[in-house]
Structure 1
Amino acid sequence: MSEEREAGRILIVDDMVTNIKILKQAIDPKHQVFFATNGTDALQLSLEKGPDLILLDVAMPDLDGFEVCKRLKADPVTADIPVIFVTSMEAEEDELKGLRSGAVDFITKPVRSAVVAQRVDIHIKLRLLQRKLEALSYHDGLTGVANRRRFNELFKTEWARSIRSPAPISLIMVDVDHFKQFNDHYGHQAGDDCLRTVAHAMEQSLKRVTDLLARYGGEEFVVLMPGTDEEGAKQVGEALLKVVAELQIPHAYSSIAEQVVTISVGMVSCMPDKLMHRDSLNKAADDALYQAKQQGRNRMCIGSCPLDKA
């Protein structure tokens, strides 16, 4: 692994600028460093920047480090970010409190630069390795797009973010029309090739990096669109229908007049709140997909924002 690839993003949180400078000087310059001087800003920067590691002071005027760490671990968006406490507190009970709050390490002040640098590098390497392993476990082996596990985890994260913002969130459920007949008559190898081609085309049609296409199971796919309202999601659904039809993959056993591979689409959008459960949005999109299939396939149906509460 090259040094460039080992570089990480580090958030330093301390109410004393002098301490921030000391820590920054101790850290290998290949790492990107940004800082906050209070707990409230630290929480906001953690959400915005998604650091690979946080060096966190304990004694701060608004929120102390223990409370900041507790809130970081309670938020699914920031829960996996490793935290190292850097503090003048030396008592065993303080160190235990820090580790029990979710920190991965505890460094006492005054810091020793060489020790800080070594510990930071170790935790950055572990964090980047964790991300690589996650990336491998998050992809569908057949199509190369994200898998259902990745969708479930990101949906949970983005749902929480949408409630906090607040912001709309939209889902699209996709089903390849008459795929069983395609498999039965053209063979499973051709079926696999079809799914790969369709998945790649749909993924390429997504314009925003925040949108996720995932294989949901079999010939079903799902598109997660955080920050997208109904009109925006409708445009994405129409683009999916168009791009798949334009592939012109022959399907002589389809009920569609053109006898090419097509998809059915169910879409739903909502502005979530704390009383709603994300599964209700998933069900609404699935119900809309069922309607599209019942109405003749190769079309999109738009569901209503679910009113079911958690």
Structure 2
Amino acid sequence: MTKARILIVDDEISNIEIMNALLEDDYDICFATSGRQAIDTARIAQPDLVLLDVLMPDLDGFEVCRQFKSDAMLVDIPVIFTTGLGDTEDEMRGLSLGAIDYVTKPIQPAILRARVGNHVELKRLRDQLAAMAVTDALTGLSNRRHLERALETEASRLSRSGEWLSVVMLDIDFFKQFNDTYGHPAGDRCIMMVGAALTRAVKRASDVSARYGGEEFACILPGTDPHSAELVAQEILLQVQSLNIPHEMSQVSPFITVSIGVASARCSSTMEVGRWISEADQQLYAAKREGRNRMALKQFGSENALCHP
């Protein structure tokens, strides 16, 4: 099992060394010596828990905690304050800002280990529940809820640099006829196999593949321009064709096929997130009109959509 990662934030190196010595056997440790460095490090390292000093020279722990809880990338990371302050008012202030616990200095080894262990385990359980809530039970892919949230996050992130974002939507051709012919258990197996083919075609860790509903799937491809998105769509077509799932009632092939719509645009703060979905959906239906078992792509602002079998 991968070790949980702990971020220790303290401007006194000796305090970091003490806590590191107590925790390093059980956890992957990273550290920061200032509030600003803590925020930057947390964004990169994505720790499972933060041990945060209150008194620091630039941003104090209260302000760091406040920024954590207002940042979508950091909000779910548990924060334990470590401080020499014994004032109940300070403790209440930290908890009101979203911290989950308080540890006073000098550090008591058994107490620190117990509290860190308890909160890391609680986070692991919360993460498992959160994963179940955004996962499609049949395919193991993300569900529609997760995909739409990921699209909002990526569009916002990429708008800062004006990078490309592409969305792919696809569904299984003549799936109702497949269910009617082979039965719903076979239909479920077909959806599972297409989901696995999608995973093989959409390979980057930053990409998100989801079962959008029924026999329909969708993918988010951050930082992907129209040409690269077209290549991904062609790979999806090939991966699904290679499954060789018989479909005698299909009007385009003796085997299962999919139709694909792709929409690509450069992100900006003025672009509505729903535009990617609506444009990709329109291209999906364009691919169907052109004969299915193909992809259609559109770059926002372009009147020229491309259909490729």
TM-score, with structure 1 as normaliser: 0.89
Q: Distance in 2 between matches of 1:271 and 1:19?
A: 46
Deviation at 1:165, TM superposition (A): 5.9
Partner of 1:23: 19
Q: Tell me, what secondary structure is at the counterpart of 2:166?
A: strand
Q: Superposition pairs for residues 1-310 of structure 1, below 5 Å?
A: 4=1, 7-27=3-23, 29-164=25-160, 167-256=163-252, 258-305=253-300
Q: 1:93 to 1:280 in 2, by over 3 A?
A: farther
* Superimposed CA distance per residue, residues 242-265 of structure 1 (whole angstroms, 9 cap, x where no aligned partner): 111222222222221x33211111
Q: 1:76 to 1:266 in 2, by over 3 A?
A: same
**Matched residue type, 1:188:** H
**Matched residue type, 1:287:** Q
Moved over 6 A (4+): none
Deviation at 1:285, TM superposition (A): 1.7
Deviation at 1:79, TM superposition (A): 1.3
Residues 226 and 299 of structure 2 are in contact (CA less than 8 Å); yes or no, is this contact kept in structure 1?
Answer: no
Q: Tell me, what secondary structure is at the counterpart of 2:219?
A: strand
Deviation at 1:164, TM superposition (A): 4.7
Q: What is the RMSD computed on CA atoms of the aligned residues?
A: 2.1
Q: Tell me, what secondary structure is at the counterpart of 1:62?
A: coil
* Superimposed CA distance per residue, residues 149-184 of structure 1 (whole angstroms, 9 cap, x where no aligned partner): 332343343334334566433211111111112112
Residues 261 and 297 of structure 2 are in contact (CA less than 8 Å); yes or no, is this contact kept in structure 1?
Answer: yes
Deviation at 1:234, TM superposition (A): 1.6
* Superimposed CA distance per residue, residues 260-307 of structure 1 (whole angstroms, 9 cap, x where no aligned partner): 211111112233233333222222222221222222221111123379
Q: Which runs of 5+ in 1 are unaligned?
A: none
Q: Which moved more, 1:38-47 or 1:148-157?
A: 148-157
Aligned-residue identity in percent: 43
Q: Tell me, what secondary structure is at the counterpart of 1:129?
A: helix
Q: 1:138 to 1:46 in 2, by over 3 A?
A: same
Q: Which moved more, 1:42-51 or 1:204-213?
A: 204-213
Deviation at 1:66, TM superposition (A): 1.9
Q: Distance in 1 between matches of 2:90 and 2:156?
A: 31
Task: Give the paired residue count.
Answer: 302
Residues 77 and 161 of structure 1 are in contact (CA less than 8 Å); yes or no, is this contact kept in structure 2?
Answer: no
Q: Distance in 2 between matches of 1:46 and 1:245?
A: 43
* Superimposed CA distance per residue, residues 58-116 of structure 1 (whole angstroms, 9 cap, x where no aligned partner): 22233222222222222222211111111233322222221121111122222222211
Residues 200 and 239 of structure 2 are in contact (CA less than 8 Å); yes or no, is this contact kept in structure 1?
Answer: no
Deviation at 1:127, TM superposition (A): 1.0
Q: Which runs of 5+ in 2 are unaligned?
A: 303-309
**Matched residue type, 1:145:** L
Q: Distance in 2 between matches of 1:136 and 1:101?
A: 28
